[in-house]
Each structure stands twice: as structure tokens, then as C-alpha cells.
């Protein structure tokens, strides 16, 4: 559990995943949901909103920037994620998929 927390903290502080989500315009609004008292304002990624958990509810700590993400941007990102996931699945399961630039001579003999 502690290792997972350290990994998440490193990602937050370096902004690896957060900066990509903002740059790729994954959504209209991006929020970080946190427990009260476990963050410093400087740790919240630029442009992100902040929701602080209070019991069963959430309190708005900071409003997010409106990214005005176009539907075409969101669909393109979703398509890239689906393609990457399919490739990873195929690799793990030994599936060889013919690419359009391959000729029949490039394919493995069965």
C-alpha cells in the first residue's frame, strides 16, 4: 500500500499523467479529488479543479479551467487508447496482426 502511495505522489508532483490529460483535452473539466489536509496548493496541477472529500460529500476547493474540448479531440484520444490496448492485448496473447504495409512474404508461415 505504501509503495502505491509513493508512486501516486511521484506522479502528482511531477505531473506526468495530469499534464498529458490537460494537453490532450481529455474532457471539458478536470478535477482532482483529495482527502482534506493531505495536499499543498502547489501540488494541484494547473488548470485542474479541486474537490475535497468531506464525509460522504465533496466540497469545491478550486474551480477548473474550461478546456473546451471538441468532440473530435475526445474521439481521437479514445481511438488511440483503444488501438494501444488492442496492440498490448494481442502482444500478450501472441496474436500476429497483418499490417497494411506488409506483403504476404512478410507474414509468418503456418
- Whether residues 9 and 43 share a domain: the answer is yes
CB atoms within 10 A of CB 22: 19
d(CA 56, CA 75): 33
Q: Is the pLDDT of residue 106 over 60?
A: no
**Domain housing 85:** 71-102
Q: Please provide the distance, in angstroms rounded to a whole number, between the alpha carbons at the two ends of the chain.
A: 46
pLDDT digits (tens, 9 = 90+) for 49-86: 999 999 999 999 999 999 887 888 878 888 888 888 88
- Whether residues 53 and 77 share a domain: the answer is no
In this prediction, residue 100 carries a pLDDT of 65
Q: Does residue 18 sit within a domain?
A: yes
Q: How many domains does the chain have?
A: 2
Beta bridge partners of 11: none
Q: Evaluate whether 42 touches 52 at the Cβ level (below 8 Å).
A: no
- Whether residues 76 and 50 share a domain: the answer is no
Amino acid at each position: 500500500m505504501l509503495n502505491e502511495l509513493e508512486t501516486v505522489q511521484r506522479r502528482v508532483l511531477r505531473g506526468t499523467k495530469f499534464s498529458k490529460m490537460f494537453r490532450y483535452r481529455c474532457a471539458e473539466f478536470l478535477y482532482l479529488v483529495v482527502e482534506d489536509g493531505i495536499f499543498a496548493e502547489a501540488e494541484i496541477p494547473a488548470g485542474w479543479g479541486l474537490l475535497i472529500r468531506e464525509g460522504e460529500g465533496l466540497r469545491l476547493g478550486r474551480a477548473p479551467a474550461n478546456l473546451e474540448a471538441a468532440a473530435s479531440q475526445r474521439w481521437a484520444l479514445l481511438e488511440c487508447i483503444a488501438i494501444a490496448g488492442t496492440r498490448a492485448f494481442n502482444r500478450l496473447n501472441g496474436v500476429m496482426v497483418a499490417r497494411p504495409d506488409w506483403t504476404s512474404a512478410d507474414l509468418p508461415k503456418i
